[in-house]
Amino acid sequence: MIATGLLLTSLFTLGLSKPVARSLRLHEARSTIPTGFSHVRSADADTVLNLRLGLVSSNVDQLVETLYDVSTPSSQNYGQHLSRSEAAAFLSPSSESLEAVNAWLNENNLTAQSISPAGDWLAISVPVSQANEMLDADFSVFTHEATGVQSIRALQYSIPTDLAGHLQLVHPTTTFTQPTSPKLPLNAKRVSASAMEKRQSSCSGNVDPACLQELYGIPTTAAANADPIVVTGYDDQYPSNTDMSDFLSQYRTDIASSTTWTIVELDGGSDDPSDPGDEANLDVQYTVGLATGVPVYFISVGENANDGVFGFLDTVNYVLSNLSDAYVVTTSYGSNEADISTGVFSKLCDAYASLGTAGISVLFASGDGGVSGSQSSSCTDFVPTFPSGCPYVTSVGATTGTSPETAADFSSGGFSNVYATPSFQTSAVSSYLSYLGSTNSGLYNTSGRGFPDVSTQGENFLIGYEGSFYTVSGTSCSSPTFASVVALLNDKLLSAGKSRLGWLNPWLYENSGALNDVTSGDNPGCSTNGFTATTGWDPVTGLGTPNFAALLTAAGV
């Protein structure tokens, strides 16, 4: 009897022309509209949304285990990085997940397109009315008050109950990024010729490549075996050849002023030399101009990124599938962790883990708002930045001055609310928390991943821009500087027949003595003095600034 009943039910289901409504369960929600945005109205029913479905990757645990295995110096498999396709394969969804999600889409007459090398991201185009029904959502128009830019988001959505464990997230829904991501040069000041002439050595005044080479012992001779550095660029920013040539003629008289980079265009990115960007110029001038002899790619990510997170998702897939010779990636953009849905952050962070497993070092600027976030803002609780909270990126903070180097007061640092303290830094973080005692108690997450990991100079960097010279400040200066150091270390390692550094963090924390410890300064914000730099790791300057010779020794060369 029971068997017959079941059979009848399933035949009945198959015979329906419309799918039975699936039972839905709330999947992601935000309790409030993020600060700076306001709700305008429900979105028009027939507006077509381009949504991305992030499928659960079947082997994240194994990915992370492999990442640690190939990146921890004491491990037998240290340096045995996987190929990019092997590393990406950990992110693939199971065939059950793929079938379950596709079956749901088919019932709704939707066809998905795979948009990541591992197949864990699918793209669909769907009218608002149908998306609202499928996800029990109210897709609405929101305005970013400062810019007037509108976007369609949902404050909450549900997914079919039986897709739990298969479908990790639907995006963009609850992620609200600022339409313009932080452009980090804090204070661009025009520098007169006489000020340049008076520049002191050792980065005690304005900073140029020569003083960084001197301060950190960075080689000035050309790399012999270097792989390219990838500089990522957003916000319609491109570097200028003439500004580069001015910069090199002034500050790297020992190399050809015609030294250049390769631009690659993604998501409609372009290259408009008549409209260069200060951030793009800075990032390229302090890679081309500091990592001597190292080729540089500039990825121009355009406005068709549509990935709801500046283009970071598209960038990581592009590096994995299209830039097979690059092993160091630096990004001077970011935002606040709370703006990004946990689901999206977690998918992106897993993707950074796959880059690390393939031997690629991923560096990000930590942010320019001290403890108040990526940019200075009013706050009560401290604001961790994105994506520095991901343990698989190396977050770079800023210092200033030379005798001794001290924390730059804007250097973002703190503790993630999403990722727990990873094993490579538990001892460093617990020492710092003991030192801190009850200071700032309740304002930050004592169990979070601490950042930044390292730092470099970040104030008064001289750049060529629109035919003259400026100084700029920010952790934007620091990430390309540290990336250049890593590329030059990789060059020496490859020349010695050794493998690249790959994911840096376990190696850095095991060799903290190879960094110059920065023990003074702080990063104020939220009406506090923020955190204070001290002996050992701190959430202002990380482990410290690079000492090239000591890092080389630590790497076994």
The DSSP code for 43 is P
Q: Record the tokens describing residue 242, joined without a space.
A: 């003439």
Taking each helix axis as running N to C, give the angle between helix 475-495 and helix 278-288, from 0 to 180 degrees, rounded to the nearest 10.
30
- Min dist CB 165 to ligand NAG, Å, is 20
Q: What values do phi and psi take at 99, rounded to 5?
A: -65, -45
The DSSP code for 542 is B
Q: Among candidates 390, 389, 394, 350, which has minimal Cα distance to 503?
A: 394
Contact 339, 175 (CB under 8 A): yes
- Min dist CB 108 to ligand NAG, Å, is 5
3-state secondary structure at position 213: helix
Q: Which of 420, 430, 439, 535 binds ligand NAG (CB under 6 A)?
A: 420
| Neighbour-count burial of 403, counting CB atoms closer than 10 A to its CB (0-12 exposed, 13-18 middle, 19+ buried) | exposed
- Please name the residues in contact with 236: beta carbons below 8 A apart, sequence gap of 6 or more: 270, 275, 277, 302, 303
Q: Which of residues 277-336 bind ligand NAG (CB under 6 A)?
A: 321-322
* 246 catalytic residue (yes or no): no
Q: 214 or 265: whose CB is closer to ligand NAG?
A: 265
Q: Among candidates 255, 315, 305, 310, which has minimal Cα distance to 285?
A: 255
Which of 235, 279, 314, 491 does the annotation list as catalytic?
Answer: 279
Q: Which of residues 216-275 bind ligand NAG (CB under 6 A)?
A: 266
Contact 423, 452 (CB under 8 A): no
Binding mask 107-146 for ligand NAG (x = CB under 6 A): -xx-------------------------------------
164 makes contact with ligand NAG (CB under 6 A): no
3-state secondary structure at position 61: helix
- Segment interacting with ligand NAG, rule: CB under 6 A, options 212-220, 442-450, 465-473, 487-495: 442-450
Total residues found in the chain within this entry: 557
Q: Which amino acid appears at position 525 of this protein?
A: G
518 assigned to a ligand binding site: yes
453 assigned to a ligand binding site: no
Q: 395 or 406: whose CB is closer to ligand NAG?
A: 395
What is d(CA 133, CA 114) in angstroms, rounded to the nearest whole number?
23
- Min dist CB 322 to ligand NAG, Å, is 4
* 476 catalytic residue (yes or no): yes
Q: What count of Cα atoms within 13 Å lies in the side-chain half-sphere of residue 468?
A: 10
* 283 catalytic residue (yes or no): yes
Q: 244 or 383: whose CB is closer to ligand NAG?
A: 383
Which of 300, 476, 478, 484 does the annotation list as catalytic?
Answer: 476
517 assigned to a ligand binding site: yes
- Segment interacting with ligand NAG, rule: CB under 6 A, options 175-183, 214-222, 445-453, 514-522: 445-453
Identify the helix (H) or strand (E) that includes residue 278. Answer: helix 278-288
380 makes contact with ligand NAG (CB under 6 A): no
| Size of site (CB under 6 A) for ligand NAG | 12
233 assigned to a ligand binding site: no
Q: What values do phi and psi take at 438, rounded to 5?
A: -90, 0
85 makes contact with ligand NAG (CB under 6 A): no
Q: Which of 447, 495, 535, 553 binds ligand NAG (CB under 6 A)?
A: 447
Place of tokens 């002439």: 197
Q: 311 or 464: whose CB is closer to ligand NAG?
A: 311
- Min dist CB 446 to ligand NAG, Å, is 8
445 makes contact with ligand NAG (CB under 6 A): yes
Contact 251, 209 (CB under 8 A): yes
Q: Which of 232, 335, 417, 460 binds ligand NAG (CB under 6 A)?
A: 417
- Give CA 236 to chain center in angstroms: 18
Q: 385 or 473: whose CB is closer to ligand NAG?
A: 385
CB atoms inside a 10 Å sphere around CB 26 = 10
Q: Where does this chain bind ligand NAG (CB under 6 A)?
A: 17-18, 108-109, 266, 321-322, 417, 420, 445, 447-448
* Binding site residue list for Ca(2+): 517-518, 536, 538
Active-site residue list? 279, 283, 476
